[in-house]
Structure 1
Amino acid sequence: MTPAPVVVADGLRFPEGPSYLGGGALAVVEMKGEAVSRVAPDGTVTTLGDCGGGPNGSALGASGEVYVANNGGLSVAGNGYWHAPRQFDGRVQRVDPDGTVTTVGGELPGPAPHRPNDLCFGPDGTLYVTDSANWEDLRNIRPGRVVAIGPDGSRLGAVEVPAMPNGVAFGPDGRLHLTQSLTRKVLAFEVAGGTFGEPGAVAELPTGSPDGLCFDGDGTLYVCGSIGNAIFVYAGGELKETIETGEGTQPTNCCVGDDGRLYVTFSLSGHLVAFDLGLTPWTPHTGSITAREDS
């Protein structure tokens, strides 16, 4: 039986996109706080960077900086939408240890609005970012994209993905995995230096809407079911376990720490929680992207 989650921090302002920093500390974006924050092992929350807009996902850089997928200032609030006080077209941001926030990768391809959602580094230091497109208008939603950004800030390639591409992560098998929220599927790509192979479905959630995802070192896949209030656990493409999180939690993204815990953001309730599962750690790839405004 899965142990109950331990609350690491509460009072977070629609937390998303956790990244494990080491030593029990995590970076978490606070979408409605327009910031990326550090959560210490004792639950103390401090601001790492004031991002504006709607920080949606984070990835740890090679030199301690944090990269943020910022959707420009949009979230769901009850039966409607929340808009940030400081709105802009979505972008990818770099937050340095001194709090400096810069844009990397320049303007994203395709028509506005751009809604960067999640991001991760590949093994060669390429940064892969999902752009979920105009999901505030689901009836007329356009295909989204996965965009590859090189270390010098230049765009290396992009691929269109319909039905709201969302969470993104590499696993031990070396493939880029991506949730497709409106189909409940998880897709996998062979990628190299920004070149994308053909995607294939590797899992389909029984309910909910797939959001963020992560792997442990054994290749087990954890997918946050968001509005389904559950985390779905897959091994070899088969559903191994469903972890119910309870009404009003809305698990949005997750990561595995070197302490074997599965860390999950409960966006609706404002919690960062940890499941003590004794997992084999998986350390995500890192890289460093130079600020480049003319991409």
Structure 2
Amino acid sequence: MQERKLDYRVVTEGLLFPEGPIAMDDGSVLVVEIKGGRLIRVWPDARKQVVAELGGGPNGAAIGPDGACYVANNGGFHWLTEDIFDTRGYMRPHGRAHDYAGGSIQRVDLETGEVTTLYTYCDGVPINGPNDIVFDANGDMWFTDHGKTYGRVMDSGAVYHAAADGSWIRQAIFPMVTPNGAGLSPDERTLYVSETETGRLWRWPISGRGEVSKQAWPSPNGGILHGQATGYQRFDSMALEANGNICVATLVTGGISVFSPEGEKLEYWQGPEPYCTNICFGGPAMKTAWITVSGRGLLIAVDWPRPGLPLLHQRMGVTA
């Protein structure tokens, strides 16, 4: 495995724990602010534009088949602010927000900023802490429910598949330990999910709408272990390269861990701080990586050595 340092440039700063970057065809990047409870558009000249007020804890985002932005809202964290890592006011989440009222999947009209709540339950079970979201070619969304931690209790997590119009949702995987990032292989036959606290990357063959093929025990969740952390690393969200490599944002030893489609850990790119939370690809030839550096409130850009995999909205040419 190769270890390198990210050669990055800061696109903008002053964000309130950014996550869920989305590279748009007009050159802007959408991010959510988990602490700020907002959806923000960041322009190449560092300008920030508030697109929508979301409340709670918007954690992940994706553009759907209708050009709207869909947000996985975890309901909110409690926050600690400290002067560490040479940063005054360094932010980090710590448990469930005091005013937590549940998680949800939200739809944002990018032209008007109108916010619609699509899902808060699945078959009577509350969605506790939605984290990451990815759309397939059929226009349905896969999303993770990380769960919440409060006092001595930690929720079991799950993965769901749902329609973009709010009409259909199914639990596909349960239980998981803090499922976080979600991604699809280039042929969309494989679903990848990272777990934060275990530092594990799992995969499942997709067998139908809302269905994956599952391994028997001793797999704890029916998945195939695809890769795992080196040392003490916590896994966050992810993006895929066009060749099928899986790029997982890595916490504690903050950076990007790259796994091959066969499960080999190929590279570790060291970032500027412990909370490198998410990555997306875009730009010319899909070779620009945008990474959220959340504790310091940064969005950074990196010239990536290989092209990223275009997501649904990039294949459709959505610019809204």
TM-score (norm 1): 0.88
The letter of the residue matching 1:239 is K
Instruction: Quote the Cα distance in structure 2 between the aligned partners of 1:209 and 1:75.
Output: 19
Q: Write out per-residue CA displacement over residues 138-194 of structure 1, whole angstroms, 9 at most, x where no aligned residue.
A: x53232111111244133421213211111111214211101112211111222311
The residue number in structure 1 matching 2:103 is 90
> How many Å apart are 1:278 and its aligned residue?
4.1
Identify the match of residue 226 of structure 1 among 242, 251, 265: 251
The residue number in structure 2 matching 1:179 is 194
Instruction: Quote the Cα distance in structure 2 between the aligned partners of 1:110 and 1:224.
Output: 32
Q: Which moved more, 1:167-176 or 1:93-102?
A: 167-176
**Is the CA contact (8 Å cut-off) linking 2:131 and 2:146 kept in structure 1?**
yes
Indicate yes or no: 2:219 matched with 1:194.
Answer: no
The residue number in structure 2 matching 1:204 is 228
Change beyond 3 A, Cα 1:80–1:205: closer
Secondary structure of 1:172's aligned partner: coil
Instruction: Quote the Cα distance in structure 2 between the aligned partners of 1:250 and 1:120.
Output: 21
Indicate yes or no: 2:240 matched with 1:215.
Answer: yes
TM-score (norm 2): 0.82
Change beyond 3 A, Cα 1:89–1:124: same
The residue number in structure 1 matching 2:149 is 135
Instruction: Quote the Cα distance in structure 2 between the aligned partners of 1:29 and 1:122.
Output: 21
Matches of residues 118-129 of structure 1 in structure 2 within 5 Å? 118-129=132-143
Matches of residues 147-162 of structure 1 in structure 2 within 5 Å? 147-158=160-171, 159-162=173-176
Change beyond 3 A, Cα 1:222–1:156: same
Secondary structure of 1:211's aligned partner: strand
**Is the CA contact (8 Å cut-off) linking 1:262 and 1:279 kept in structure 2?**
no
The residue number in structure 2 matching 1:291 is none
Instruction: Quote the Cα distance in structure 2 between the aligned partners of 1:104 and 1:40.
Output: 28
The residue number in structure 2 matching 1:290 is none
Change beyond 3 A, Cα 1:133–1:111: farther
**Is the CA contact (8 Å cut-off) linking 2:184 and 2:192 kept in structure 1?**
yes
The residue number in structure 2 matching 1:144 is 157
Name stretches of at least 5 consecutive residues in structure 2 with no aligned partner.
82-91, 215-222, 315-320
Q: Write out per-residue CA displacement over residues 180-230 of structure 1, whole angstroms, 9 at most, x where no aligned residue.
A: 112211111222311122221111111310000111111121111122212
**Is the CA contact (8 Å cut-off) linking 1:113 and 1:134 kept in structure 2?**
no
**Is the CA contact (8 Å cut-off) linking 2:39 and 2:51 kept in structure 1?**
yes
Indicate yes or no: 2:48 matched with 1:48.
Answer: no
The residue number in structure 2 matching 1:292 is none
Change beyond 3 A, Cα 1:210–1:80: closer
Change beyond 3 A, Cα 1:286–1:18: same
Change beyond 3 A, Cα 1:182–1:81: closer
Instruction: Quote the Cα distance in structure 2 between the aligned partners of 1:218 and 1:101.
Output: 35
The residue number in structure 1 matching 2:278 is 253
Q: Which moved more, 1:217-226 or 1:154-163?
A: 154-163
The residue number in structure 1 matching 2:177 is 163
The residue number in structure 2 matching 1:25 is 28
Aligned-residue RMSD, C-alpha? 2.3
Instruction: Quote the Cα distance in structure 2 between the aligned partners of 1:151 and 1:30.
Output: 22
**Is the CA contact (8 Å cut-off) linking 1:30 and 1:37 kept in structure 2?**
yes
Instruction: Quote the Cα distance in structure 2 between the aligned partners of 1:24 and 1:176.
Output: 28
Instruction: Quote the Cα distance in structure 2 between the aligned partners of 1:162 and 1:84.
Output: 22
Secondary structure of 1:22's aligned partner: coil
Indicate yes or no: 2:109 matched with 1:104.
Answer: no
Q: Which moved more, 1:78-87 or 1:230-239?
A: 78-87
